[in-house]
Amino acid sequence: MPDAATIYSDVPDNDTMGGRMLRARDAAGMTINELARRLGVQVSTVQAWENDRSQPRANRLSMLAGVLEVSLSWLLHGVGSGPTDEGRDEVYQSISLQLDRLRRLQRETAKVTAQIERDMRRLTPEA
């Protein structure tokens, strides 16, 4: 997390507060229902925040920043610690490993299937 001396030297995120909330929620892999439940508000309230029709009160802003793992200054003004793609990288790596495993299993299955077919041909009497 940047310190106070470097926080304002970064290029600000010029999106609206609602847009930043939506992106942070997506980066956290959280549905709007999950976020509303964790904050103790209605889904329609979170929708209004994300659509810039209203803004959360100070106590909810603080909770929101904590739940979304972003700094309050980023949420309010677009400067500071925003969402990271670390979670996304971990998910990608996990999916890649699962796909490799699936390919290995597919090759093994093909080998076993071929062996069973050979064995079946040997046991079947020729007409």
Q: pLDDT tens, 5-53?
A: 445 556 777 888 898 899 899 888 899 999 999 999 999 999 999 999 9
Tokens of 68: 């979304």
Amino acid 8: pLDDT = 53
Query: Within a 13 Å sphere around the CA of 13, how many CA atoms are in the beta-carbon half?
Result: 23
Q: Which of 82, 80, 90, 63 is nearest to 23 (CA)?
A: 82
Phi-psi region of 26 (alpha: psi -120 to 50; beta: other; left: phi over 0): alpha
Averaged confidence pLDDT in the chain: 85
* Residue 117 CA, distance from chain mean position: 44
Q: What is the CATH number of domain 17-77?
A: 1.10.260.40
pLDDT in tens, 50-90: 999 999 999 899 999 999 999 898 888 888 888 874 555 66
According to DSSP, residue 85 is labeled S
Q: Which residues contact 8 (CB under 8 A, 6 or more apart)?
A: 79
- Cα→Cα distances 88→28, 29, 43, 71, Å: 9, 9, 25, 19
pLDDT tens-place string over residues 83-97: 874 555 666 777 888
Domain segments of the chain as ranges: 17-77, 85-127
